[in-house]
Structure 1
């Protein structure tokens, strides 16, 4: 039998609709360092090796065969109304049929997501407390050694999406279009941008590459950043696509600094918002992930990974996500865990961009 050669997949243009498995990896882009190229080819090759080996291994067996046999607490480490909250509540609508048990969505916002993470770590490692996270609490923990945990204190069960960070501003503010923003005199004060750590990092890196100065203001949740925008405390807010949709008529999208351009369906809703890639710079895709206590058994993590995949494949979930302008990019646990480790290393290199 010839040996299996593990090498990077060739890149392809993104297709509309949910993306499952290794094909979704292209949506998670974070450069190796500011101004340099991300080592995505090496990561893709490693993930293909993992996938090849996984096909030779037996499926999970043991004492956790009954999982899940009761309601799962689904922890959102941010307040209600933000992108993570919307994702959790939409997915939970299909949990009983696709996952086998109901999800009780619990908002544990505060401290840039760290409070929710600590809440998960304080629970038994049995898979009945699941954290739906992003890179925001991970970055916060890297910045603050007193957080009480390290970003590696989690077992990643799946990636579910890649956030396309959009910058929004109030209409007629002078910051409400890319043309207006870049036409401001050099002597003008730089725009104040508010957001959670992960999307703010994407925005700051993108603005640096485009030569546009900005000052950054970190908030614990997207809702707080939007409130600050409405109150005039910041000039722009860094948000996900679903938040852009929810603020139609109240805030104007200025630029998409994500790893991919908006789909035609999204453009139909919010207009042809300039994409950083079309302006000659590389955008950043920030993942949404699902994780559990680091001591959770392999069998349970695998069941959660498979269950999340089934939930995301539910037609009602994909339809609702599309209405919000969100895109499903699913990676199962092994691929997601490797990608998370790589992203964490890159985040460490970019920490000097944060205030």
Structure 2
């Protein structure tokens, strides 16, 4: 009998279990993030354990540091070759993923750990929420129920911001967004001055512009030096979305200035039904059609399981 040896399926990624990834860590985190600092970085529903930092995010931070130092080294060598003295532009990290998957917490953790790298870089975090069109514009265009979909973002403005960043502009302003008013802030901006590292976080950062053929074929991710996609099964994400909605109902929604103040008196059953309906009619569709299809464009994928615990890491081969 002839034994046919099965060829493993082709993949652009190397997959690591949680245990395999944790072994890559080159140091301890006791002196990096205190319990208070971890609490400050936590999202409204996802908590950050010391174990998660040491086993997942410290190796990730060390990998990013390798990429950043190689970028600096290459810049210096090119300057020598060209006999020039151009200034190094920021190292840009993109973080993508679904609503409620915990990408904002991941971005904050990376920012906190990156700021502690040996060269103590200046690290800025920019969210693409600020690049949404204002609610007035979305209402005018009939897009309020498609908020978060590609067409609800001012992509030209976001691309221009990234052009400025990668052109070495000493000072740039980024628009800010309020989750309380559920709108872009007209009179406030994020001031960014000579950063070494910039993290750009948002559901849309790995998407490509397929609809407007008039725009140059330049994508947000073209400006990234490294990109991360935070992944999870949709059932888990929906569960986190519902629990977050219930928590917000009892906290932020109680504020009369909250856009969602009208939902503050929903019962648990009503809150679950409402959040589930919003998910299936808006966020779930956006995840399936626009967000998850971009996952393969990321350099690294963090796969989460219940409790926001990372269970698997996929790193794109070089």
TM norm structure 1: 0.24
Find the structure with the greater CA-based Rg: 2
Greater helix proportion: 2
TM norm structure 2: 0.26
Larger RCO, structures 1/2 (Cα 8 Å, 6+ apart): 1
